[in-house]
């Protein structure tokens, strides 16, 4: 079958266009999918992660995937970040060093993810990764990856990439998994038929976790929210039929027009805003327990 | 035997990154027997540069499911941790106390019961 992919930017519509492809190819088995980019007006580099997660699930059903008719500008972006290398395109050297290249990392391979960040987060507009914004961003990215490790049940791994925009002083990092999605875990936990959007809202509340074992949870996503809020950045979470966005102090929760498998998280920070990233309130070591 | 045993996180994890629940579990498995035996334990984060809540939940948060709060307060301490990370640890500890008070069962069967409708 041929699927004509429409524009994929970092917004609700972009996720919907990827979800439309997932739905279109839902019944495809041991066949062939041609992803035709001729109607794709633009593609944000970081969105290669959710695209890869969708394609990985389709390929997992023994389908061959081909990517064709990619407009030159988009081809350059997706060759620079290595995404198209898996589909027979030659990589282009990222001379400006603005790309966090696309990688697929197994959930069990946490060390490889740490190496990836160590290697590629440097030089992306944040001078110090051990303090302030750099430290807080690194922690936030690890929190999201750990969430995928613990909750996603993704057998196909976690897909990561990102893009630094020096003029705009923005850095976007995107992680996507091909797992069960937030809704399934929240439904199992709450034992109620919540919508995808409500499940995302629930999961982002401090103290909320679907864990029930010996290790508590429910702090990581609240931490991420606090960091992005302090930075005046953006978070987007798309999972199944839900889309959440935090931008400019405003939260938006919407229903996607089609079912996007797994969970994708976009973290966008303003690299010029290196202000105070201390979590509210000071604590002394003697007051912890 | 010293009055207080220093648990060096960097040495147990094998580096400066405390970013996985598995590593947190390993650290927990070194701390818990000390508390069980009534030893004072000081958890040192010297040379650790990144720590996240998933690690702390496993390493320290889950102790609240095994020991009374008073026992932990009496025997456990932390040192060599940055001010930011202390605030994160405090959140993890406060959250863990609530978690074990309100813990519930996970229902694996639920997904099948409700199907795929929104």
**Model pLDDT for residues A25-84, shown as the tens digit of each residue:** 999 999 999 999 999 999 999 999 999 999 999 999 999 999 999 999 999 999 999 999
Longest dimension (CA), chain A: 64
In a domain, residue A163? The reply is yes
Closest by CA to B29, choosing from B13, B47, B15, is B13
Helix A110-120 vs helix A132-151: crossing angle, to nearest 10: 150
Set of chain A residues whose Cβ sits within 8 Å of the Cβ of B95: 206-207, 216, 218-219
Chain A residue nearest residue B70, CA to CA: A289
Confidence of residue B44 (pLDDT cuts 50, 70, 90): very high
CATH of the domain at A79: 3.30.565.10
In a domain, residue A288? The reply is no
Closest by CA to A51, choosing from A2, A113, A103, A8, is A8
In a domain, residue A124? The reply is yes
Name the A residues in 100-139 with CB < 8 Å from any B CB: 110, 114, 130, 135-136, 138-139
Residue B2 pLDDT greater than 90, yes or no: no
In a domain, residue A41? The reply is yes
- The DSSP-derived string for A176-235 is EE-SS-HHHHHHHHH-S---HHHHHHHHHSTT-----SSS---SHHHHHHHHHHHHT-EE
Write out pLDDT tens, residues A227-268. 999 899 999 999 999 999 999 889 999 999 999 999 999 999
CB contact under 8 A, A280 and B87: yes
The pTM of the full predicted model, rounded to 2 decimals, is: 0.90
pLDDT value for A192? 86
pLDDT value for A85? 94
Confidence of residue A169 (pLDDT cuts 50, 70, 90): very high
Q: A232: left (phi > 0), else alpha (psi -120 to 50), else beta?
A: left
- CB-based contact, A152 to chain B, within 8 Å: no
In a domain, residue A282? The reply is no
Average pLDDT score over residue span A204-210:
85
Interface test with A, best of B45, B50, B66 (most A CBs within 10 A): B50
State the distance between the two ends of chain B, measured CA to CA, in whole angstroms: 60
pLDDT value for B113? 44
Partner residue opposite B19 with nearest CB, options A130, A146, A196: A146
Chain A residue nearest residue B99, CA to CA: A216
pLDDT value for A131? 81
In a domain, residue A284? The reply is no
Write out pLDDT tens, residues A90-133. 999 998 899 999 999 988 888 889 999 999 998 898 878 878 88
Set of chain B residues whose Cβ sits within 8 Å of the Cβ of A211: 99, 106
Average pLDDT score over residue span A140-168:
92
In a domain, residue A62? The reply is yes
In a domain, residue A285? The reply is no
Partner residue opposite A219 with nearest CB, options B53, B83, B108: B53
Q: Count CB-CB contacts under 10 A for residue B39.
A: 16
Q: Which residues contact A105 (CB under 8 A, 6 or more apart)?
A: A112, A113, A116, A157, A158, A159, A160
Cα of B99 to nearest chain A Cα, Å: 6
Radius of gyration of chain B measured on its C-alpha atoms: 16
**Domains held by chain A: number:** 1
Structural domain of A23: 2-277
Partner residue opposite B50 with nearest CB, options A142, A210, A222: A142
Residue B118 pLDDT greater than 80, yes or no: no
Residue B112 pLDDT greater than 70, yes or no: no
pLDDT value for A191? 84
């Amino acid at each position: 079958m041929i699927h004509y992919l429409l524009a994929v930017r970092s917004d609700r519509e972009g996720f919907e266009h990827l979800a439309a492809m997932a739905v279109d190819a839902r019944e495809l088995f041991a066949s062939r999918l041609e992803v035709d980019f001729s109607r794709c007006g633009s593609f944000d580099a970081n969105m290669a992660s959710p695209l890869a997660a969708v394609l990985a699930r389709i390929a997992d059903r023994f389908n061959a995937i081909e990517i064709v008719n990619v407009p030159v500008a988009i081809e350059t972006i997706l060759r620079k970040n290595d995404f198209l290398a898996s589909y027979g395109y030659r990589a282009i050297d990222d001379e400006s060093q603005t790309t966090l290249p696309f990688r697929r990392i197994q959930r069990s391979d946490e060390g490889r993810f740490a190496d990836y960040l160590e290697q590629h987060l440097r030089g992306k507009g944040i001078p110090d990764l051990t303090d302030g914004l750099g430290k807080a961003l690194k922690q936030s990215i690890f929190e999201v990856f750990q969430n995928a490790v613990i909750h996603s049940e993704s057998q196909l791994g976690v897909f990561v990439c990102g893009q630094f925009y020096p003029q705009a002083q923005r850095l976007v990092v995107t992680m996507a998994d091909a797992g069960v999605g937030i809704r399934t875990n929240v439904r199992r936990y709450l034992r109620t038929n919540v919508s995808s959007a409500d499940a995302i809202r629930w999961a982002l509340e401090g103290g909320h976790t679907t864990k029930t074992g010996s290790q508590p949870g429910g702090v990581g996503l609240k931490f991420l929210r606090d960091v992005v809020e302090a930075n005046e950045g953006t978070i987007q979470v798309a999972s199944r039929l839900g889309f959440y966005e935090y931008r400019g102090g405003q939260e938006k929760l919407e229903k996607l027009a089609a079912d996007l498998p797994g969970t994708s998280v976009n973290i966008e920070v303003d690299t010029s805003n290196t202000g105070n990233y201390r979590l509210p309130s000071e604590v002394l070591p003697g007051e912890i327990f | 035997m010293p009055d207080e045993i220093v648990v060096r996180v960097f040495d147990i994890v094998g580096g400066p990154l405390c970013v996985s629940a598995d590593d947190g579990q390993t650290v927990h498995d070194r701390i818990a027997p000390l508390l069980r035996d009534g030893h004072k334990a000081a958890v040192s984060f010297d040379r650790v540069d990144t720590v996240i809540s998933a690690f702390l939940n496993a390493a320290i948060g889950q102790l609240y499911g095994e020991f009374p709060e008073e026992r932990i307060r009496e025997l456990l301490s932390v040192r060599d941790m940055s001010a930011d990370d202390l605030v994160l640890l405090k959140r993890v500890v406060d959250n863990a106390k609530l978690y074990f008070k309100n813990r519930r069962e996970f229902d694996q069967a639920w997904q099948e019961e409700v199907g795929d409708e929104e």
